[in-house]
Amino acid sequence: MNMLRISFYFLIISVMILIAGCGEKYTPEEQEYIREIQKFREEKNLQMKNAVNSPFNNKKKIEFEPLNYFDVDPSWVYKSKMYHYEQKDTITVLGTKGEERKSVRFGYVKIERNGKVYNINVYQSGVLDGKYYFGIWFTDKTTGDETYGVGRYIDFQYKTDPEFKYTIDFNMAYNPYCAYNSEYSCAIPTKEDYIDLAITAGEKKFHD
């Protein structure tokens, strides 16, 4: 009996050490960032569950389940200037219901991972709250497997300062509304918006 008790205590202590060690790879600033993202996700779940304009409550009622995410990983946060295209082409983007949409391929940001640089397009499309909406939409190696098959989005706040350093945070990558409710249509990222990485950050598929 004593041996069983000792073994149990040893197991508990080992688990506690393992849990305590999990945070050691992050700086205090990174740990605070992780807490902020986790809090944001909790608040988004409440908003999605309760707001009347949520895709779970609007157009047709969908049973709510908490959104599904990768663990928060600070290594997926990048800084980059905006690199403007000399010619800002207006392109046709298809929606998931087959409709055509017009968006401006405005510029791109750069990230470096595993020694390779990736250019990621930034689009200008439509007007939201009296201002042009800027955003990144993309697919990657997780698309259709761990993440939503259409792709994911990151909101982008454009600044006129050409030297401004933007934060590109893949932990904030989210699914469009059509991922939850088929009544919605959302823009489909183009072939040029594929990122040749497994971006294991941000929102996963809503349904496995």
Name the residue ranges covered by the structural domains of the chain. 2-193
On whether the CB atoms of residues 200 and 73 are closer than 8 A, the answer is yes
Side-chain-side CA neighbours of 19 within 13 Å: the count stands at: 6
CB neighbour list of residue 83: distance below 8 Å, 6 or more residues apart: 107, 108, 109, 110, 119
Residues 105-132, mean pLDDT to the nearest whole number: 91
| DSSP element (H, E) containing 20 | helix 2-22
Residues 108-131, mean pLDDT to the nearest whole number: 90
Please state the φ and ψ torsions of residue 164, each to the nearest 5 degrees: -65, 135
| DSSP element (H, E) containing 196 | none
Q: Report the alpha-carbon distance of residue 137 to residue 164 in Å, rounded.
A: 21
Q: With 60 as the cut, is the pLDDT of residue 201 above it?
A: yes
- Nearest alpha-carbon partner for 48 in 203, 156, 208: 203
Most distant CA pair in the chain, distance: 78
pTM: 0.85
- How much is the pLDDT for 14? 42
Q: With 80 as the cut, is the pLDDT of residue 13 above it?
A: no
Please state the φ and ψ torsions of residue 112, each to the nearest 5 degrees: -125, 130
Q: How confident is the model at residue 4 (pLDDT cuts 50, 70, 90)?
A: very low
Q: How many CB atoms lie within 10 A of CB 49?
A: 14
Residues 89-111, mean pLDDT to the nearest whole number: 95
CB neighbour list of residue 182: distance below 8 Å, 6 or more residues apart: none
Q: With 70 as the cut, is the pLDDT of residue 16 above it?
A: no
The first and second tokens of residue 49, run together, are: 């569950």
- How much is the pLDDT for 126? 76
Q: What is the pLDDT of residues 168-190, one digit of tens each?
A: 999 999 999 999 999 999 999 99
Q: With 70 as the cut, is the pLDDT of residue 49 above it?
A: yes
Q: How confident is the model at residue 128 (pLDDT cuts 50, 70, 90)?
A: low
Q: Report the alpha-carbon distance of residue 118 to residue 142 in Å, rounded.
A: 16
